[in-house]
Amino acid sequence: MKLLISTFFFLISLACHSNIYEYNSNIYEYNSIDKKVASYPTFRDAKTLTIRISNDFKTDIEKARAIFTWIALNVKYNDDYNSIYINKTHNIYFSEYQKNRARQKKEADIIKYVFNSKEANCYGYSILYKTLCNKLHIESQIIYGLTKSSINDIGIDRVIKDHAWNSVKINNKWELIDVTWSAGYQDMLTKKFIKSFNDFYFLTSPKELINDHFPAKKQWQLIENTINLEEFFATPILYSAYFNSNLKIAKQHSGILYITKNTKTITLHFDTIPQKTNLHALMDNDFRAKKIVVKKNKISGYLVTLKVKNKNAKSLTIFNNGEAVIGFKIETQNNNL
């Protein structure tokens, strides 16, 4: 069946629901937590919300999930930088106590704004998650860093932090959460935020999150073999659906596929491809995604060969069963190089 592409949305994150999670040999059914939280009435302050969560749930992981779900379902993303987020003056503090008091007041103002407006940018989401966790005696931190969310981000030289997300300590172990990316995505054609609950970014594996989240402080990578910023931007875009697809792209691939004006095909290498896989490829300016033919490599792994009809193509997206899984940037080199 041909996959027709009428409009191309950049998804901040694609829906990839996982309702049962195994944690420390215990099975937690998130469905029942999510259903209960979805039935909550409107809350106007952190105190009454945390009292309700504390009454309904007992363990830290259940409470952490309830907070995550409530925020994702009730707060709409809005990246307008209004006065609540911006310091218009340069403040001077005469003590650490004074500085902390000012920070606490600012955070309280942001929490009040988010509860009243039900809107936040990534900093607002992160402040809210941290505050609600702390009120329930669950340790949480805000992580600042950079994201790689678009094919255009591959290979760029950028150092300015553009995102905030959270860590949360469950059973004495730090876990990673991004409520902003779990609340929905932005339609890049209309610039409107589309609410779409996505729990991939709840307790995400650090090895998976590092593909699109680069913390400014290396300690929050939470992986044994840490990477630098250049390595972060060099890899392909791996959308959330990739990690549940059982596909495995070969490590030899960088995020940029180089072609020349004489290039007729692009070859991709995969370490693993499941038998029941429906793969399609879409280059920019194509009207329909083309079905991919997978061939077994004589040595090991699998080969995918794609025809290059548009020499001006700048991107390639691989779809599995209708969901975007991998994104590459395409760059044209001079034949004489």
Neighbours of 196 (CB within 10 A): 15
Alpha-carbon distance values, 30 to 8, 33, 40, 61, 140 (Å): 31, 5, 16, 10, 20
Domains in the chain with CATH codes: 20-235 (3.10.620), 244-332 (2.60.40.10)
CA 218 to chain centre: 18
pLDDT in tens, 192-249: 888 999 999 999 999 999 999 999 999 999 999 999 999 999 999 999 999 989 999 9
* Contact (Cβ atoms closer than 8 angstroms) between residue 110 and residue 85: yes
pLDDT in tens, 96-138: 766 667 667 888 888 999 999 999 999 999 999 999 999 999 9
Where does the pLDDT of residue 262 fall: very low under 50, low under 70, confident under 90, or very high at 90 and above? confident
